[in-house]
């Protein structure tokens, strides 16, 4: 390599791991409701989520880095969501996709969890009912930024 110092270049390990991680987001789509359609639209070729290195959904939480919670979560489903979150390996992130997962949305009743952050920690909130693919990609880029800037070796 042609560098001024001659034959090598320096970088910070932290930054490099962050760079690797942010472009290899293996997501676990936890899809329960209508937001799933927008998730599919985002994941398909037109919007092409693979540009951000997130094109490979894993359907086992043990292989996934990012938990995409897509759609309304009911109280009855809440234990399952918590269990899936617990099964994911560190480092892991959570994206709340759509207002139902952010706050409960327009549901305020006996069945719906008022925001998944009452159960598990959330890194990125993507509002919208459902959010357009552009919003999702924006959220994904914010997540990448977060992954890049956090300490990697804790």
Partner 1 sequence: MELGVTLRKLKEKFGDWLFDVGQAFGDDFFVAHKDKVVEISRFLRDDPDLRYNFLIDITAVDYPQRRPRFEVVYHFFSLPFKQRVRMKVPVEENHAEVPTLISLWEGANWFEREVWDMFGIRFSGHPDLRRILLYESFEGHPLRKDYPVNKRQPLVGPKIS
Q: 50 — phi, psi (to 5°)? A: -70, -20
Task: Tell me which H or E stretch contains 30.
Answer: strand 27-31
115 closest CA partner among 154, 81, 65, 152: 81
Least distance to partner 1, CB of residue 82, Å: 5
Verify binding: residue 62, partner 1, rule CB under 8 A. no
Question: Where do the DSSP E strands lie in 33-115?
Answer: 66-70, 93-97
> In what order do the strands lie in the sheet containing 27-31?
27-31, 66-70, 93-97, 124-126
Q: Give the one residue of 51, 118, 134, 149 binding partner 1; rule: CB under 8 A.
A: 118
Verify binding: residue 90, partner 1, rule CB under 8 A. no
Q: Give the one residue of 109, 151, 153, 154 binding partner 1; rule: CB under 8 A.
A: 109
Q: Give the one residue of 16, 82, 106, 121 binding partner 1; rule: CB under 8 A.
A: 82
Verify binding: residue 89, partner 1, rule CB under 8 A. no
- B/e letters for 99-110, b = 16+ CB within 10 Å, e = fewer, are bbbbbbbebeee
Q: In terms of CB distance, is 43 or 67 closer to partner 1?
A: 67
The stretch near partner 1 (CB under 8 A) out of 36-44, 54-62, 91-99, 102-110 is: 102-110
Interface residues with partner 1 (CB under 8 A)?
75-76, 78-80, 82-83, 86, 108-111, 113-114, 118-119
């Amino acid at each position: 390599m042609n560098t001024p110092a001659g034959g090598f270049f320096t970088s910070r390990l932290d930054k490099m791991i962050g760079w690797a991680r942010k472009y290899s987001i293996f997501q676990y789509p936890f899809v329960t409701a209508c937001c799933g359609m927008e998730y599919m639209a985002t994941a398909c070729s037109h919007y092409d989520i693979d540009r951000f290195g997130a094109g490979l959904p894993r359907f086992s939480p043990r292989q996934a880095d990012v938990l995409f919670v897509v759609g309304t979560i009911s109280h009855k489903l809440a234990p399952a969501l918590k269990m899936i979150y617990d099964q994911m390996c560190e480092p892991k992130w959570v994206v709340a996709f759509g207002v139902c997962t952010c706050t409960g949305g327009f549901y305020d009743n006996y069945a719906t969890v008022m925001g998944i952050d009452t159960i598990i920690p959330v890194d990125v909130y993507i509002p919208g009912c459902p959010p357009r693919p552009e919003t999702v990609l924006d959220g994904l880029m914010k997540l990448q930024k977060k992954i890049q800037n956090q300490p990697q070796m804790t």
